[in-house]
Copies of this chain bind each other. A is one copy, B any other.
Amino acid sequence: MLKDVMRKKLREQGNRVTAQREAILKIFEEVGDHLGAEDVYQLLLRRRRRISKATVYRTLELLTSMGLLRRLEPNEGVYRYELAESSSNHHHAICTSCGTIMNIDLKDLENSIQQAAESIGFNMTNYSVVIYGLCPSCQKKINAETEMISSK
């Protein structure tokens, strides 16, 4: 269980196990991916857990440095986080219309990317692919609108 992994890691590094840290990790287990600090804060409030934003920020950073969370590079605005275990082999497709983030598996590409990095003398530790475009539901919306117009 992830909670136990966290407890173990915290203790190994001389950090403490606190209710706040467990609550924040639990949010990610329950709600899932791509949450920003504000999202986490609000989700905690909805669960009647009042944790200061400062603590949310500090905890997100701690969990990231411990390797439990991964921080996504924002294309726009806010840092978002996801469970690191779930993110080891996927990348992101971001809808430019509604902002939805979808996961996408690209592990077949790993070798080609690795090679390209080597070709410029770069020692790659990891990589991230972000795809921009329209998610299925925005495509539908746009198609529907187009039909409306052409049928007028």
Contact = CB atoms under 8 A, between A and B. Distances in A.
Interface of A: 73-75, 93, 95-96, 102, 104-106, 108-109, 112-113, 116-117, 120-136, 139
Contact of A117 (B93, B96, B127): B93
Most buried by B among A74, A122, A130: A122
Contacts of A136: 120-122
Contacts of A116: 104-106, 109, 131
A48 to B, nearest CB: 34
A73 B73 CA distance: 7
Contact of A93 (B93, B120, B130): B120
A138 to B, nearest CB: 8
B113 A133 contact: no
Given A73-B75, A93-B117, A112-B108, A123 B127 contact: no
A124 to B, nearest CB: 4
A99 B109 CA distance: 24
A60 B74 CA distance: 18
